[in-house]
Structure 1
Amino acid sequence: MPHQDKVIGFIGTGVMGSSMVRRLLAAHYQVIIYNRTKEKAEALINEGAIWGKSPMGVAQQAQVIITMVGYPYDVEEVYFGPHGIIANAHTGSLLVDMTTSTPTLAKKISEEALKYHLQAVDAPVSGGDIGAKNGTLSIMIGGSQEAVAEIQPIFSVLGNNIVYQGEAGSGQHTKMCNQIAIASNMIGVMEAIVYARKAGLDPEKVLESISSGAAGSWSLSNLIPRVLKEDYSPGFFIKHFIKDMGIALEEAEKMDLQLPGLQLAKSMYDQLAEAGEENSGTQALIKYWNNN
């Protein structure tokens, strides 16, 4: 039976969200969930989660409301308006958006929440489906230190690299740094494998040699093995990565900053999405070379 003191609402039970909910259930939290497609939440309901019927229904029953949805417009939809989280959450509730969204929207949510005597935190994550399942996510946090301290026990169930970055929006800015670093790295690790194959090498042995040296990266160790098995299932969707890169480029433009590596990566992923790969995992970038 759940014995933790806070009831958690969780909106968005996709690839990442479903694994995060399972972690919270295993830690004996009562979790009320909502997803636009109820069928995708049935397994979690069978495992002990409670169906919340709507974002409003979740907000009315929980002290902590976590959102993990797809796009900034999805975040807007669940937080604002008469049926949204902010208007229906109990005074003193904590709102935690773990979607990768815009720093501007994170600040807007925080400011609006304060009007309703709520506290909002932006806490995007990195680590993919593997990190979500294992509770080893990196969590990048923006918001008040008081709110962050209150939610720390919940974060510790979901991640093991939990860093407070500063005021509202800081978590989202940090996630942009993360995505910028990944974008160019993904090109590099894929080119390494393409080169290895062209040179007549065994990619498995090449990976063994380079993954623990200076070329090592999370993408090389976790995604290239999937590539070698021709497994393009999504730990993180290409369509969501394109969204993130778009946000980063928009924010960079506001700061009068050029990011040519990010622009190249986005153009390559855009081509894959146009070819029908938007629902594949980011490791399907290897198909860029297969098609060119």
Structure 2
Amino acid sequence: MNHGSKLAAAFEPARLDPERRRDGAADRNRDQNRDRSFVTALARGLELLRCFTPATRQLGLSELARRSGLPKATVSRLAGTLAQLGYLKYEPANRRYSVGIGVLSLGYAALSNVDIREIARPLMHELAEHALCSVAIGVRDRLSIVYVEWVPSRAPITVMRGIGAHLPIATTSIGRAYLAAASDAERNAVLDQLRGDSACDWPQIRRGIEDARRDYVERGFCVSIGDWEDGIASVGVPFTAPDGTPMAFNCGGPAFVLDRERLEHDIGPRLVAMVRDVGAAVGRG
């Protein structure tokens, strides 16, 4: 098998079970039913917390039930429990819930474990100022990449995202970079879910991920120009933390600042070098 055939095979997702739900929940449920350590009530409570996003900060019981797929009575009990424990906050005036301080404390605890942020931040600042765009670190959360660090430049025009922002894994440079370096099993699992999503243009999604994989093999970085949002361009590079956590870095901003020529011949190589320096600083160089 030649190099091109191997590359194509790496992107051939497993065949979809016609009965499988888009998010793979049916398969997870079957596996969980066999696992005596799995606590369904706890899982439902955590799924309820996932309904909240930076763009959706307050939700009522009906909205939570719709988003989680759980019965409203179950949502009422779970939300009440989470509110008593401080993970949700109830607003009697509008009968809606929002994320409580308890979740914030867990988030900071998780971020504190990502020591790479402290090491990378000065190098990220240097690149951000050179590019006049922001630089970020992200980790995977299902079909998204979540920023765990974000450094803006002093440029008057920038793309404001910030820590905690969720970006689609399939169409962003940081998501494609993550997938480019992922194991075949993880990559195929993600592609399997994307292929089953009727809302996405699967042939275009797959082509973009395949092209990004080739770019990574040949140049060490992946590019996205207008694939996620019109007028937004970025370059991404994968990285594995010393504890084995897979993540990725990106540098992105307005396309009129980061045209293809600059991305491919300036910012891309600089981001690769920056990630290499981060690796050397943490003993991975």
Give the TM-score normalised by structure 1. 0.28
Give the TM-score normalised by structure 2. 0.29
Higher relative contact order, chain-length normalized (CA < 8 Å, sep 6+): 2
